[in-house]
Amino acid sequence: MNKVILIVLDGLNARTAHTNMGFLEHLIENKQCAAYTVKAELPAQSRPLYEVIQTGVPTYLNGIVSNGTVKRSKEASVFQLAKAAGLKTGAASYHWVSELYNKAPFDPLTDRIQLDTEHAIQNGLFYFEDHYPDNHLMADGAYLIREKQTDYTLIHSMNIDDIGHKFGSQSKEYVQAAVTIDAILSNYLMDWLEKGYQVVVTADHGMNEYCTHNGVTDDERKVPLYLFSEQVAAGDYRETVVPQLQMAPLLCHLLGIGKSAAMQELTFI
């Protein structure tokens, strides 16, 4: 079974993840996953990097240049490729993902719940407040996986990013947001793995001490990557820094589908 669950923890830098997320670190220690460090593309903003993760195309080519770029993607996304291959797609995600791959602009009156559609994301539960609780979000994602039997599922959290913008990456509040989602993940992850799902946990970008992200510092660009798959040898490879442009071909590889011509060749596993 080549089903993949992609969990994107918006705004989580690698330093905070590997220092404070004890459940995921426990799985690294016990060789239950492969851990890498990803270097995010620039600019280190959310909407451009959602596009990078899903399409493998850098910003200067894909045209999603800032968080204010509200339009549909023109690139072939993992969602589109998976659907074309006969797989079922889903996302429990911030509404910007809907704007990139389903409908733009997003209308909360009509677009929050999109089930059994012909869009690239066939089944979507989209939220539009940055503080939408992570425990609600994970339940949304679990619903799509369980009831809609999605083969490629994005679960995208905004809580860490929201707290980081309010308090900065050096704050106790930022650390606690990471600790909270680590605990929530523990209630779902082992069950998904036992059922044969491959799970990828990463972030779009990090956060700095000044409550922002856009630049070139390690806290803004270096993010974690935890891979749970029999196709990837378990181990601690965090000294290996993976370009974020490798994420899209990685997802295609795990799904067993062809990558787009614009994506890089997969080189790090």
The beta strands (E) that lie in the chain are given as: 4-9, 34-39, 89-94, 113-114, 123-127, 152-157, 198-202, 222-228, 235-243
Q: Decide if 96 is inside a domain.
A: yes
Q: Decide if 264 is inside a domain.
A: no
Q: Decide if 232 is inside a domain.
A: yes
Q: How many other C-beta atoms can be found within 10 angstroms of the C-beta atom of residue 19?
A: 12
User: Per the structure, how many domains does the chain have?
Assistant: 1
Q: Decide if 261 is inside a domain.
A: no
> What sign has the CA pseudo-torsion 120, 12, 181, 38?
positive
Whole-angstrom Cα distance, residue 6 to residue 229?
A: 12
CATH number at residue 144: 3.40.720.10
How confident is the model at residue 1, as a pLDDT?
Answer: 67
pTM of this structure: 0.98
Using alpha carbons, select from 199, 198, 184, 181 the residue that is nearest to residue 11. Answer: 181
**Residue 253, token pair as written in the block:** 């590889």
Give the domain extent around 156.
Answer: 4-255
pLDDT in tens, the chain (269 residues): 699 999 999 999 999 999 999 999 999 999 999 999 999 999 999 999 999 999 999 999 999 999 999 999 999 999 999 999 999 999 999 999 999 999 999 999 999 999 999 999 999 999 999 999 999 999 999 999 999 999 999 999 999 999 999 999 999 999 999 999 999 999 999 999 999 999 999 999 999 999 999 999 999 999 999 999 999 999 999 999 999 999 999 999 999 999 999 999 999 99
Q: Decide if 75 is inside a domain.
A: yes
Q: Decide if 266 is inside a domain.
A: no
Q: Decide if 214 is inside a domain.
A: yes
Using alpha carbons, select from 213, 214, 107, 204 the residue that is nearest to residue 158. Answer: 204
The answer to whether 255 and 88 are in contact (CB under 8 A) is no
